[in-house]
């Protein structure tokens, strides 16, 4: 039986428009074992391209492509320039797609250095090889023919404080000290790097900025919200509905529609950035969890606190190891709470162990008018006093305990630029949830 990505690849081709420009072309996909990378590899193969799927896990590569006519290549470290040079020069590629970087919250929290390095240096290693080809051709008085490079970025680069749907020219504020800041900064810095190579060496570097993408092809252990929810539901476990999630809405894009966008950018796009998000698939996230539960036949339990709790009942902003009651023999802090969780009932930062990782006590930190600590911008404060600035949204930088839920920033994306290429997303939330659960149950 073929890996489930092949079915979603077939759906992607229906939404991507004319892909004749990809037929017989040679494409290297870095990060091909991930959800987007694997479906993209299968879709390119269906479009008539000759695909080389590269990933760092040889076992996963075998599992995901053993029944496909797709060449695989193990690249265990994208930050190693020698390895990337060997990969890029192993064939005369027409396109190189770079989606080789971890995207799950746990990795962003626990290995931020690796996240930064994989994104920035991985792309730099690819582009530096092509830049050398350009310089070598110029010395011979020739024009180098270099492959188109597509870097898969993220909506995280828009940061906080965006009003309305963000277009490709919009920008927001990124908190560099937030645990998830490394992911956003690495994507933004990589985009800047690509633009710099384009200006200096004339390379065709294109950027895709997906929003919230979901589907059944996630890697085991993925801690992104939909991956956690799907895994628990398929295992027959009840789901939890974190407090404050009700009414929180976001655009969710099924993986086949996201891949269709990448195909359109490769086949008919040009240098520059493109948002990739299905604006017609906006959904209440609490409703999404309930929809998964209904489809899977499990229950939904409401949780008093969307974040892990200390033993005395307060809300921790990070893992349970950050709880400390101060009682003799109790489990005390193993480390600081790295994410600015806010205890709603007391209006104070729930840092635990008398630590202050949220910076509540620092004069430079942003505070709500009631003295509590804002995890993000001042627009996240709400005192309920008449005339006061009230909540425009939750703190998007939220802590997560293993098995919990974390939804990424719910920024809306303006995708008119991509739609002008003929991209036409087809899968709504209900269909996407149903497709995911059916695939995972096989």
Does pLDDT of 70 surpass 90?
yes
How many Cβ atoms from other residues are within 10 Å of residue 361's Cβ?
Answer: 11
- What pLDDT, on the 0 to 100 scale, is given for residue 36? 97
- CA dist., res. 183 & res. 114, Å (int): 10
Give the chain's radius of gyration (CA, Å). Answer: 22
- What pLDDT, on the 0 to 100 scale, is given for residue 285? 81
Average pLDDT, the chain: 78
Domains of the chain, earliest start first: 5-294+408-441 (3.40.50.720), 308-322+330-399 (no CATH)
Q: Residue 182 contacts by C-beta under 8 Å, 6 or more apart in sequence?
A: 108, 112, 113, 115, 116
Residues making up the chain, counted from first to last: 442
- What pLDDT, on the 0 to 100 scale, is given for residue 339? 34
Q: Residue 291 contacts by C-beta under 8 Å, 6 or more apart in sequence?
A: 429, 430, 433
- CA dist., res. 52 & res. 76, Å (int): 15
Query: Contact at 8 Å (CB) between 320 and 308?
Result: yes
Tokens of 285: 């996230």
Selection from 255-264, 285-294, 332-341, 403-412 with the highest mean pLDDT: 255-264
How many Cβ atoms from other residues are within 10 Å of residue 241's Cβ?
Answer: 18
pLDDT class for 377, splitting at 50, 70, 90? very low
- CA dist., res. 134 & res. 115, Å (int): 29
Distance of CA 227 to the CA centre of its chain: 12
Global model pTM greater than 0.85: no
Of 380, 434, 432, 412, nearest in space to 250 by CA: 412
Does the CA dihedral 424-429-434-436 come out positive or negative? positive
Does pLDDT of 437 surpass 80?
yes
The counts of H helices and E strands in the chain are: 12, 14
Alpha-helical (H) ranges within 370-428 are: 416-419
DSSP letters for 319-358: -GGG-----TT----SS---S--EETTTTEE---TT--TT
Tokens of 244: 């404050």
pLDDT of 189-241, one tens digit each? 999 999 999 999 999 999 999 999 999 999 888 888 889 999 999 999 999 87
């Amino acid at each position: 039986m073929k890996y489930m990505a092949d079915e979603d690849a077939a759906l992607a081709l229906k939404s991507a428009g004319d892909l004749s420009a990809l037929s017989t072309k040679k494409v290297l996909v870095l990060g091909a074992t991930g959800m987007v990378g694997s479906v993209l590899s299968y879709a390119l193969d269906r479009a008539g391209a000759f695909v080389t799927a590269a990933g760092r896990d040889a076992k996963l590569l075998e599992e995901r492509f053993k029944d496909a006519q797709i060449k695989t290549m193990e690249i265990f470290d994208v930050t190693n320039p020698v390895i990337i040079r060997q990969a890029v020069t192993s064939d005369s590629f027409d396109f190189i797609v770079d989606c080789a970087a971890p995207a799950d919250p746990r990795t962003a929290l626990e290995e931020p250095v690796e996240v930064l390095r994989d994104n920035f240096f991985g792309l730099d290693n690819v582009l530096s090889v092509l830049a050398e080809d350009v310089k070598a051709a110029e010395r011979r008085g020739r024009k180098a023919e270099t492959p188109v490079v597509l870097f898969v970025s993220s909506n995280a680069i828009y940061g906080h404080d965006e009003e309305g749907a963000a277009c490709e020219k919009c920008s927001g504020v990124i908190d560099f000290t937030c645990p998830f800041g490394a992911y956003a900064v690495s994507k933004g810095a990589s985009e800047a790097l690509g633009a710099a190579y384009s200006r200096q060496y004339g390379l065709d570097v294109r950027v895709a900025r997906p929003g919230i993408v979901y589907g059944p092809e996630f890697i085991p252990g993925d801690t992104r919200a939909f991956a956690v929810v799907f895994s628990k539901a398929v295992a027959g476990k009840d789901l939890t509905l974190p407090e404050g999630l009700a009414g929180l809405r976001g655009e969710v894009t099924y993986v086949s529609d996201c891949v269709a966008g990448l195909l359109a950018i490769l086949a008919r796009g040009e240098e520059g950035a493109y948002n990739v998000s299905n604006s017609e698939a906006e959904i209440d996230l609490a409703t999404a969890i309930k929809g998964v539960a209904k489809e899977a036949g499990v229950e939904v339990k409401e949780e008093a606190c969307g974040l892990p709790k200390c033993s005395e009942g307060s809300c921790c902003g990070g893992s349970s190891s950050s709880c400390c009651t101060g009682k003799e023999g109790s489990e005390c802090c193993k480390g600081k709470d790295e994410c600015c969780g806010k205890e709603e009932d007391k209006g104070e930062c729930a840092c635990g162990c008398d630590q202050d990782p949220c910076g509540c006590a620092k004069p430079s930190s942003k505070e709500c008018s009631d003295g509590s600590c804002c995890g993000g911008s001042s627009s996240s404060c709400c005192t309920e006093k008449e005339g006061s600035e009230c909540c425009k949204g939750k703190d998007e930088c939220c802590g997560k305990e293993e098995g919990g839920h974390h939804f990424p920033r719910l920024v809306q994306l303006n995708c008119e630029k991509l739609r002008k290429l003929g991209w036409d997303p087809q899968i709504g939330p209900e269909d996407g949830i149903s497709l995911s659960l059916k695939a995972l149950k096989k």
